[in-house]
Structure 1
Amino acid sequence: MIRRSSVIVLAAILLLAVNLRPTAVSVGPVLEEVRDGLHMGAGGVSLLTSLPVLAFALFGAIAPLLARRYGVHRVTLLSLFAVAIGLLGRSLADEEPVFLLLSMLALAGMALANVLLPSLVKLHFPDRVGQVTALYTTMLAVGLTLALMLTVPISHAGGGWRTGLGIWALVAVIAAIPWLPMVAHDHAIDPSPHTVGFLEVLRTPIGVSMIVFFGLQSLQAYVVFGWFATMWRDAGFSATAAGLLVGLVAATSIPLSLWAPVALARSARPRRILLCFMICYPIGYAALLIDPHRLAIPAALLIGAGTVVFPLVLVLINLRSRTPAGTAALSSVAQSVGYLIAGIGPFAIGLIHEHTGGWTWPLCVLIVVCVPQTVVGLMCGRPVYVEDQLRDPARTAV
């Protein structure tokens, strides 16, 4: 392991985490302005909203391979450069294809870093996985909340949507600074010649379970952040108020993300903690079915608590692997394939909303999705390890 101050390494990880959501969500608040400014058609807009899923599927899968070949810190630094160049470049683009290409570059960097984060924690803080995961997932929520709430005000302050999107490139450049000294003595995630392959993990029960669990919880998050502002506007809220409600969903997860991953890592019965957060989703959806206007704030708080399942999944990726290489492979499998599952959500919910003319059926579908998520989440809470299942496919634990 590179011998660097743990404070510097922790700061680097936290700054990296802040940058892993604005790339994907900063476009949403100014999508209308971007579409008008670049004269984008419906196909271009649909492609733009699908790029995050495509990036996670394509680039998340190769992250461990790149890390083994070039070094985890070098790949992480390059991912931040890709984010910065892509975000700055697309804010200056005048043509739709250039904007989409540079958006994909930024999202590719985000996808690589997102997959490598759990292995970086395992590498540098093997005895403090829960605490460090709690910190960096909290910073993920901070970055998400800031992007949702500040992109529009920054756009209105001057320069329009270009400034609102381009400012996040500066944040990525700042985040790259502490990674610079770490690349000089970089090495692979695991110096052992015995690596854990992507396809191997796909054949393990824990690998499949983590894919489904990660995919279903991400599906709900994509739907919430992609459609719920529209739902609340349909319920009678102004555009500003609807945006603030979505921001409340994101902000609710910040304090909970500081506590929940640590508690899960230390708990002798992690499935109880998982269950407590997983049931928040269906209760919040049920509140919206009853009265989406008067129960908007309680529903936002409950759904925000449900989104804490995401940092809990990241902790489980570490807890269900014994080595940094195993963590990287399990993270790659769970995220790259899981995000393909997640990508179905916004598209399907949009179609259901369009064909039913309301939000009753979409909310009912989301409640149904909570059932398999809860089942597979409890399965992932069992104390099993991907390396053990690779050595002995029949090995399980209750």
Structure 2
Amino acid sequence: MTPPTTAVPAVDAGAPPSPAAQAPGAGTRPDGVPTPTPAGPVAGGLLVLVGMLLVALNLRAAITSLGALLDEVRDGLALSGALAGFVTTLPAVAFAVFGALTPRLVRRHSPARVLVVAMIILAAGQLVRVATGSALVFILGSALALAGIAVANVLLPLLVKQYFPHRIGLVTGAYSMTLTVGATVAAAAAVPVAHLFGTWRAGLAVWAGLALVALLPWVPLALRARAARRAAPPAAVVPRPSRIRPGRTRLGWAMAVYFGTQSLGAYAIMGWLAQLFRDAGYRPQDAGLLLAGVTALGVPIALLMPTLAGRLRTLHPLVLTLSTAMALAYVGMAVAPHDGALLWVVLLAVGQSAFPMILATIGLRARTTEGTVALSAFSQSVGYLIAALGPLLVGILYGTTGGWTVPIGFLLVALAVQTGAGMVIARPRYIEDEV
């Protein structure tokens, strides 16, 4: 693996630093855009890392806290079954729609400034949905909060590439692990907080404070980026590189399909695994613990997997290993869901580490920040649309057949598609070379 370098200073994505900021030895890309000169942590790298981890804590908290309190919310707002179902599929749809807009925002504003606004929107959306008695306003507030998350989802791989180009695996692993911790803590704490204050609204509102804390590191970084852009002499302004469209490339679609089918399986597991174990004879609380075990075991794996991906010359062995783990878990749950439950939980945790791996791969399959944000937005936007089908189709198949054989068969087919796409993205290549 290439020796680590230090972080680059905060600048607008796609906009070059001024000549004064170019130290001796700073290079120029073929498209004429100067490459940023590495700088020490005091120049922004450490602050960026802290900011990224704080943002990552927020990326699932608003979702898992709602999942934990969904029954209380349904009763409090008189949500119909259809509306409650729509609320559970809203995250994937919002991630797809709003994530697709992120590259346009980054072309006009610095990533730091965009993240400040995203965290404000996330906090505002969470406060709106707990301050209303209207089901419609609750859904709109949730959509607003999810818009902030969607933008941050796309920006984090860009920031890893921009500030930590030779530590992509390590930094991606750190924020992936933090994301998992945030999701787990929010799911576990939402109900106790609601009981403490006597209302489900408190169990959801508390996470707005976490979003406001997350924006604090990005305020000075946004101001610094704005000052750098204003201070840049006219001679430093060069044409931006041509727009990258991953949807016109084989790599872009392979990344989107892999991201989508992996997330489809993950969403289905999160939504239905506890029910599967209850049907197998486990008590409700034990089935919930088995589901929590998948998340808990995934925390250390999320830290290690991106680093491993960054060290490998080709991802073929990793893709096949993760797919094999998932396949064994699916087959095991169909054949012996009760007796082998602990083994299936371990295999699921291993197989679902495909998520941090694909996040790291976004940075590994782009040469530039422009390519990274374009690939991130396309992969996640298309991917989350695919993922939204997972819980829905599994629920339909389960309700129709009354068992788990057919739903698990569907997940195995999705896994086969995921593995095929993984074979395409496993070979070292770059999105810019296919445009």
TM-score normalised by length of structure 1: 0.93
Does structure 1 residue 271 correspond to structure 2 residue 316? yes
Does structure 1 residue 144 correspond to structure 2 residue 144? no
Q: Which amino acid aligns with 1:388?
A: D
Does structure 1 residue 96 correspond to structure 2 residue 135? yes
Whole-Å separation in 2 of the counterparts to 1:85 and 1:105? 8
Match of 2:31 in 1: none
Point out the more displaced range, 310-319 or 17-26.
17-26
Tell me by how many angstroms 1:214 deviates. Answer: 0.6
SS in 1 for 2:165: coil
Match of 2:203 in 1: 164
- Aligned counterpart in structure 2 of residue 193 of structure 1, from 231, 236, 239: 239
Match of 2:406 in 1: 361
Please report the RMSD computed on the Cα atoms of aligned residues, expressed in angstroms: 1.8
Does structure 1 residue 347 correspond to structure 2 residue 386? no
What are the Cα deviations for residues 242-295 of structure 1, in whole angstroms up to 9, with x where unaligned?
Answer: 222221111111111111111110112322122212221111111211222222
Whole-Å separation in 2 of the counterparts to 1:114 and 1:241? 32
Tell me by how many angstroms 1:101 deviates. Answer: 0.5
Assess if the C-alpha contact under 8 Å between 1:149 and 1:247 holds in 2.
no
Percent of paired sites with the same residue? 41
- Aligned counterpart in structure 1 of residue 346 of structure 2, from 301, 305, 314: 301
Whole-Å separation in 1 of the counterparts to 2:242 and 2:349? 34
Point out the more displaced range, 59-68 or 138-147.
138-147
SS in 2 for 1:193: coil
Task: Provide closer, same or farther for how the CA distance between residues 242 and 157 of structure 1 changes in structure 2, counting only shifts above 3 A.
Answer: farther
Assess if the C-alpha contact under 8 Å between 1:149 and 1:244 holds in 2.
no
Tell me by how many angstroms 1:45 deviates. Answer: 1.0
Task: Provide closer, same or farther for how the CA distance between residues 36 and 192 of structure 1 changes in structure 2, counting only shifts above 3 A.
Answer: farther
Assess if the C-alpha contact under 8 Å between 1:148 and 1:247 holds in 2.
no
Assess if the C-alpha contact under 8 Å between 2:170 and 2:307 holds in 1.
yes
Tell me by how many angstroms 1:387 deviates. Answer: 0.4
Structure 2, unmatched stretches of 5+, are: 1-8, 11-38, 230-236
SS in 2 for 1:230: helix
- Aligned counterpart in structure 2 of residue 287 of structure 1, from 321, 332, 356: 332
Structure 1, unmatched stretches of 5+, are: 391-398
Write out aligned runs for 1:23-42 (5 A). 23-42=62-81
Whole-Å separation in 1 of the counterparts to 2:290 and 2:242? 42
What are the Cα deviations for residues 87-121 of structure 1, in whole angstroms up to 9, with x where unaligned?
Answer: 12212221101110100000000000001110011
What are the Cα deviations for residues 71-99 of structure 1, in whole angstroms up to 9, with x where unaligned?
Answer: 21111111111111111221222110111
Match of 1:174 in 2: 213
Task: Provide closer, same or farther for how the CA distance between residues 157 and 243 of structure 1 changes in structure 2, counting only shifts above 3 A.
Answer: farther
Tell me by how many angstroms 1:196 deviates. Answer: 5.5
Q: Which amino acid aligns with 1:352?
A: L
Task: Provide closer, same or farther for how the CA distance between residues 160 and 285 of structure 1 changes in structure 2, counting only shifts above 3 A.
Answer: farther
What are the Cα deviations for residues 120-164 of structure 1, in whole angstroms up to 9, with x where unaligned?
Answer: 111111121111111111111111221222222322333332121
Assess if the C-alpha contact under 8 Å between 2:294 and 2:345 holds in 1.
yes
Tell me by how many angstroms 1:237 deviates. Answer: 2.8
Q: Which consecutive segments of 4 or more residues in structure 1 shift more than 3 A?
A: 191-198
Whole-Å separation in 1 of the counterparts to 2:284 and 2:75? 18
Tell me by how many angstroms 1:301 deviates. Answer: 1.4
TM-score normalised by length of structure 2: 0.86
Tell me by how many angstroms 1:24 deviates. Answer: 2.2
Tell me by how many angstroms 1:58 deviates. Answer: 1.0
SS in 2 for 1:279: helix
